[in-house]
Amino acid sequence: MTVGIRWLGLFATMFGAACTGGAPVRLEVVRDTLTLHGSEPAPFPLRALSSRGDVTSWRASEVRIATDSALTIHDGALVCLRDGRADVTVRGDGLRASFHVRCRLAESFASMPRRTLMLGEAPPLYRVHAKLAQGRVVPVDVRSFRVEDPRVVTVQGGRLVARGVGTSRIWIDVGGKELTDWVQVLERIVDDTVALGAGEFRSWRLPTGRYSVVAKEVGRMDERQWLYVSTEGARCVRDSSDEDGIYCYVGKQGGLGVRNVGPAPESDGRRLAVAIYRRP
């Protein structure tokens, strides 16, 4: 199948976002094999370069799609119609480039299970898997990311970098399909295990904000509970999914404390694991 349309506006738009001017002298194929996992329009994997190596605009006079009809062109973009392969050749103004397109339509997508990040931790790699029509689950190469709030999270080399406490939406281009996901960033304020003797008290002052708190006694050998957690200047509710967790909002002043109310020596050395996270 051959499509012969003059697309000055199309290619000026495709290559003009970072265009610096200059006559094109060569076409650069960004991806020799472009895999599309959805039927949404995808841009050509090409860049027109000037003699200085700058991205510039370019006009195509012919686009040739060989092999099967799994691929078509709609409004100047590549669109997969079904599973299959296609070789694409583009010509214009004495320049020519070829690349291969693989249409591999997915029924559904699954991204990395961990969408909650901690400030200061190593950035995790964002992974996407696609479930194909045959039931196979395959990894997907992410083409690009867009981030709603870079004050919360950015993307470097496919890894999510936590920047500040908050929640941000991200968009993930997997070729022929753009996915949407949410990322939450927390700050670990306390992550400690404290040992308290009979009558001892330990507290943590917290600035204004919202917090997740998990407090759990560890190493207890009997059913007697002698460690009690209290809050000051905070409004808290239980975490319905974790019997040891609470959500708290601290106003102008507030804090969290734990006291060993048991008698000596039976209650000496009781330990409590405490984790406090600042949250959006």
pLDDT digits (tens, 9 = 90+) for 77-125: 899 999 999 999 988 888 999 999 999 999 999 987 668 999 999 999 9
CATH domain 2-103 topology: Immunoglobulin-like (2.60.40)
pLDDT over threshold 60, residue 8: no
The pTM for the full model equals: 0.78
Beta bridge partners of 137: 131
pLDDT digits (tens, 9 = 90+) for 180-234: 999 999 999 999 998 988 889 988 899 899 999 988 888 776 677 788 888 888 8
Q: Delimit the domains of the chain by residue range.
A: 2-103, 106-187, 197-279
CATH domain 106-187 topology: Immunoglobulin-like (2.60.40)
CB neighbour burial string for 23-57, b if at least 16 within 10 angstroms, e if fewer = ebeebebeeeebbbbbebebbbbbbbbbeeeebbb
**Is the bond into 263 cis (omega within 30 degrees of 0)?**
no
Nearest-angstrom CA–CA distance, 234 and 252: 9
Q: If pLDDT is split at 50, 70 and 90, which confidence band does 268 have?
A: confident
Q: Do domains 2-103 and 106-187 have the same CATH topology?
A: yes
Q: Are 31 and 43 in contact (CB under 8 A)?
A: no
The reported pLDDT for the residue numbered 21 is 60
